[in-house]
Amino acid sequence: MAAGGVAVFIVCHLLLLSYLSYSLPLCTNSRAPFTPKKALDFCSYNGSVCCDSAEDLQLQKQFQSMNVSDSSCAAILKSILCAKCDPFSADLYTTKSTLRTIPVLCNSTSSVNSVQTKSAANAFCDKVWDTCQNVSVFNSPFAPSLQGGVPENSTVSKLTDFWQSKPVFCEDFGGSAVDGSICFDGDPVTLNKTEPPNPPSGMCLEKIGNGSYLNMAPHPDGSDRVFFGNQAGKIWLATVPEMGSTGTLGFDESTPFIDLTDEVHFDTTFGMMGMAFHPDFARNGRFFVSFNCDKVQSPECSGRCSCNSDVNCDPSKLTPENGVQPCRYHTVISEYTANGTATEGSLKTSASPSEVRRIFTMGLPFTGGHGGQIIFGPADGYFYFMMGDGGSRGDPYNFSQNKKSLLGKIMRLDVDNIPSAKEINDLGLWGNYSIPRDNPFVDDKDLQPEIWTLGMRNPWRSSFDSERPSYFISADVGQETYEEVNLITKGGNYGWHIYEGYSLYKAPGSPEANSSISSVNTILPVMGYSHSDVNKNEGSASITGGYVYRAQTDPCMNGRYVYADLYANYLWAADETPENSGNFTSNLIPFSCAHDSPIQCASVAGSPLPTLGYIYSFGEDNRKDLMFLTSTGVYRVVRPSRCNYTCSKETAPSPTSPGSNPSSPSSGYRVRTLQTELGLLLSSFLLILPGFFL
């Protein structure tokens, strides 16, 4: 690198995730692009951008201060300044965790343009040098002395003042961004337009358990074990059978890993809603449970009401729902620990029902729509908590858009650094957690510090793509007409109750929609479906979010996001085209049950197609095999050929010895857990009624 070249790359912000590749449209502040309320006057970007009108004006003033005499060079420098507004600016400006002052310029000497419509042969870096090398520029953004913006003492310089030749200049400013896929060629970044691939011919399932569960989590030790949790408050540790072994889930129903039924209020819309195991669980034994409690029945069920003066809500004026006073029921997150010593690691097979600490407690204004899923981010290790809008139709108190309310939000907490009681009180926290330093409140002082995103209605099942952790995908249950899936980003506003899906929301009986289209920078869904698509008569629908399929079992499903409808037994698989664009195309996918399923699948009357009952949730084991958690049992995705579906990528399974699992740290443990086989669980007791999700 040339002398002075190092100084060009100034560290504006060290990203928390030093290895994270931005692989979808994202701004340099880690937020999603947005549609500005007013079109940009200076930078010629249309649609979603990373600049608002104030930032656009600031760039215009910076350009004017440069006083570029050569019109050709001026046009090039303007485009470079305006690259800050590009929806892919995070890729353009981020190199090895450092934000640059200049975007990565397409260079003919590096293969950086693999996803753009223009080839690297355009060599935009060469063009910059050839056009501007001898042009005098005040406050040049290329000058090593410039530390961003306009300096107090204006200076004039030429490129030749600091770089001896084009190759040296392009060594400093050309090349690839974070993942080698995007560079700047003078125009807004565009991706290769490719046609979506043909959808898979179908998905084949086998039934491996009769129980009915809301939650599933792989054991953090990487073995062939998983945890299942039901709505009533029990969690079991089970062994997943080898693919093709004709085995079923291995555990003893009479000895759960933990039984919290005495703490959990279990009813149609209440129960144990989520569970999350610490990434270091195999050593520290820490895990977390999200559930509902009833303060009338339990003195430990107490906390602030989510309807309070901070959000301009008076609980005494809320109309009781179904005869229940506001904030009788609470959402709780508690921490527990597995029994045994730390040296036993993955051999811990039970946990104490005694709470270690109360992480979060909040009173609910109504009896539905309160989400409750909890997961750890695979890249950042932080704790994500999905919370619905409180449940009343149309969110009449506007909780989801209220930045001081935690209803209708996805929260991001640090459960590894527990503050003192005084700090909790001083900060106004809802429990024993701290706030990650890069949460969005740093940029928006009006925002509650726990909030990661807002504008959700009732997020029902969110997941991270195991191969691309920047893809955080969350399904959001609709109200009147539309079920949606969103790509979640820092500080994103997903529109409810101003928007439902792609349209402004109009509550039944209201003369007009809630707000004008320009009142909020809404991030629209990336996929979803209307109620009329799944139920032509009544329009009933409720989305169940899934996973980006990453197992090797069904190679024709790989890379597709799989999701379903709770009621209709409809299944979708969504392709992202172009790749890394955030643009998805969904297709309905037929599914069948393998004729050699370990447990026979019930069929639709007069049809060989299986009936799954209600599809409550999905799960992913340590091999990334996908599970369906339904009211009739647990189903696993298997090879397409077992249902006579055609997949050209499918190969014959390699022979393995019974019980072998390359991902399991202890083959002996498998023998121990298979001593008891799964009995028929009491599905009727665990059955979640349809109103649960609404």
Crossing angle (nearest 10°) for helices 124-132 and 166-173: 130
- Between the alpha carbon of residue 234 and those of residues 210, 264, 270, 621, the distances in Å are 15, 9, 14, 19
Q: What is the pLDDT of residue 555?
A: 96
Amino acid letter for position 271: G
Higher pLDDT, 202 or 181: 202
Q: Tens of pLDDT along 59-108?
A: 999 999 999 999 999 999 999 999 999 999 998 987 666 778 899 998 86
233: its two tokens: 């408050």
- pLDDT over 60 (residue 537): no
Q: Tens of pLDDT along 584-607?
A: 999 999 999 999 999 999 887 767
334: its two tokens: 């508690």
**DSSP SS3 for 553:** coil
**Does residue 70 contact residue 137 with C-beta atoms inside 8 Å?**
no
**Does residue 534 contact residue 543 with C-beta atoms inside 8 Å?**
no
**Average per-residue pLDDT for the chain:** 85
* Token pair 């008891």 in the structure block, residue: 676
Which of 658, 620, 668 has its CA nearest to residue 346?
668
Write the burial class of residue 66 (CB in 10 Å: 0-12 exposed, 13-18 middle, 19+ buried). Answer: buried
CA atoms within 13 A of residue 259's CA, in its CB half-sphere? 5
**Does residue 23 contact residue 471 with C-beta atoms inside 8 Å?**
yes
- What is the dotted CATH code of the domain comprising 203-693? 2.120.10.30
- pLDDT over 50 (residue 195): yes
Residue 99 CB neighbours (<10 A): 19
**Does residue 229 contact residue 235 with C-beta atoms inside 8 Å?**
yes
Q: Tens of pLDDT along 299-318?
A: 889 999 999 999 999 988 88
Q: Please report which confidence band the pLDDT of residue 345 belongs to, taking 50, 70 and 90 as the band edges.
A: low
Most confidently modeled range among 22-26, 55-59, 661-665: 55-59
3-state secondary structure 124-193: HHHHHHHHHCCCCEECCCCCCCCCCCCCCCCCEECHHHCCCCHHHHHHHHECCCCCCCCCECCCCCCECC
As a whole number of angstroms, the distance between CA 449 and CA 44 comes to 34
How large is the C-alpha radius of gyration of the chain?
A: 27
Q: What is the pLDDT of residue 606?
A: 66
Q: What is the pLDDT of residue 36?
A: 84
The per-residue b/e assignment along 181-201, b for 16 or more CB within 10 angstroms, e otherwise, is bbbbbbebbebeeeeeeebbe
Q: Please report which confidence band the pLDDT of residue 35 belongs to, taking 50, 70 and 90 as the band edges.
A: confident
As a whole number of angstroms, the distance between CA 358 and CA 467 comes to 33
Query: What proportion of the chain, given as a percentage, has pLDDT over 90?
Result: 66
CA angle 378, 346, 617 (to 5 degrees): 50
- pLDDT over 60 (residue 464): yes
Write the burial class of residue 487 (CB in 10 Å: 0-12 exposed, 13-18 middle, 19+ buried). Answer: buried
Mean pLDDT over residues 408-423, rounded? 97
The per-residue b/e assignment along 12-41, b for 16 or more CB within 10 angstroms, e otherwise, is eeebebeebbbbbbbbbbbbbbbebeeebe
Q: Any idea where the domains of the chain sit in the sequence?
A: 5-173, 203-693
The alpha carbon of residue 311 and the mean position of all alpha carbons in its chain are separated, in whole angstroms, by 26
686: its two tokens: 């665990």
The alpha carbon of residue 283 and the mean position of all alpha carbons in its chain are separated, in whole angstroms, by 27
Q: What is the pLDDT of residue 120?
A: 44
The secondary element (H helix, E strand) that includes residue 76 is helix 71-82
Q: Tens of pLDDT along 5-22?
A: 333 332 233 233 333 345
Q: Tens of pLDDT along 150-163?
A: 445 568 999 999 99
Mean pLDDT over residues 170-183, rounded? 72
Mean pLDDT over residues 614-636, rounded? 97
Amino acid letter for position 620: E
**Does residue 568 contact residue 614 with C-beta atoms inside 8 Å?**
no
- pLDDT over 80 (residue 473): yes
**Does residue 617 contact residue 544 with C-beta atoms inside 8 Å?**
yes
Residue 495: phi and psi, rounded to 5, are 95, -30
Handedness of CA 298, 304, 306, 308 (dihedral sign): positive
As a whole number of angstroms, the distance between CA 574 and CA 584 comes to 6
- pLDDT over 90 (residue 689): no
Q: Please report which confidence band the pLDDT of residue 58 belongs to, taking 50, 70 and 90 as the band edges.
A: very high
